[in-house]
Amino acid sequence: MSPRADARAALVTLRRRVEDHFAAAQARSPGAMQCRSGCADCCRARFGVFGVEAERIASALSELAHRDPELRARVRAQADDPDHDACALLVDDRCSVYDARPMICRSHGLAVRVRDEAGERIEGCPLNYRDAPAPAASVLELAAVEAPLSVIARMFEPAAERIDLATLARG
C-alpha cells in the first residue's frame, strides 16, 4: 500500500474507534447526552481539517452536487458569506456531508479531557451531563484522537497543513 492509502485506512479505524466510544458513552448514560439529528450547537464555528479528511469531504461535496445541486449551491453560498458564523457545511441545522464529517465533528458532544499548558480539565457540550458528570469511561482523551490524527495527516501529506472547511465548501 502507498502512504496515502495507509493513511486513509488508519483514518477509517480512528473514526470507528471514536464512533464506538461515542455510542458506548450514550449507552452508559441514557438521556444524559442530548446529541441528535438537528442539534447543531457544536457547529457554530469555522475551522479547518487536515488533507486526509479534506479529501473525503471534497468527494462528498462532489457527490452532493450531482445528488442535490440546490443544497450544494447553498453550501457554496454560505462559504462565501463572511457573516455566516457556522460551519459552511451546516444547512438547516444538519450536516450536508454527515457521513464524511471530520474527526472533530465525530467527537463533539462527548466529555473530553484536555491537557495543555493551562492544566487538565474536562470540557463538553453544556447540553450534556447536566445532572451528573460523565462517567470516567465516557470521557474521551483528546490526545488519544489528536496524536494519531496528526500522524495520519503526515502520512497522507508530510506538510499536514489544515484546509479551511469554507474553502472546501467553495470548491
39-63: average pLDDT: 94
Report, as an integer, the average pLDDT of 112-121. 95
Average pLDDT estimate for 57-72? 97
pLDDT of residue 66: 97
Q: What is the pTM of this model?
A: 0.91
Q: What would the DSSP string read from start to end of 5-57?
A: HHHHHHHHHHHHHHHHHHHHHHHHSTTT----TT--GGGSS--EEEHHHHHHH
Every domain of the chain and the residues it spans: 3-170
Looking at residue 14, its pLDDT comes to: 97
pLDDT tens digits for range 124-157: 999 999 999 999 999 999 999 999 999 999 999 9
* Residue 71 φ/ψ region, left for φ over 0, alpha for ψ in the -120 to 50 degree band, beta for the rest: alpha
Indicate whether 50 pLDDT > 90.
yes
Rounded distance, CA 105 to CA 83, Å?
22
